[in-house]
Amino acid sequence: MGSLWQYSYFDHVIRNRQDYEETWKYIDENPLRYILKKGEINYAQNS
């Protein structure tokens, strides 16, 4: 059976509002970055 935790995973404590907003932005935009990296969407055509 596999490991529960991802290798090289680390926790991050959110310490202030700016840190919260940067973390949320990363989480919110991450699926789009993945799709763009895979070449499934041409961002220039959709903007």
21-45 residue pLDDT tens: 999 998 888 887 777 777 665 555 5
Closest to 13 measured CA to CA, from 25, 27, 23, 28: 23
C-alpha torsion sign, points 4, 6, 10, 11: negative
The answer to whether position 3 is within a domain reads no
Least confident of 9-13, 18-22, 25-29: 9-13
Q: Look at the chain and report how many structural domains it folds into.
A: 1
Q: What is the pLDDT of residue 6?
A: 64
**Domain, as residue range, for 25:** 17-46
In a domain, 36, yes or no: yes
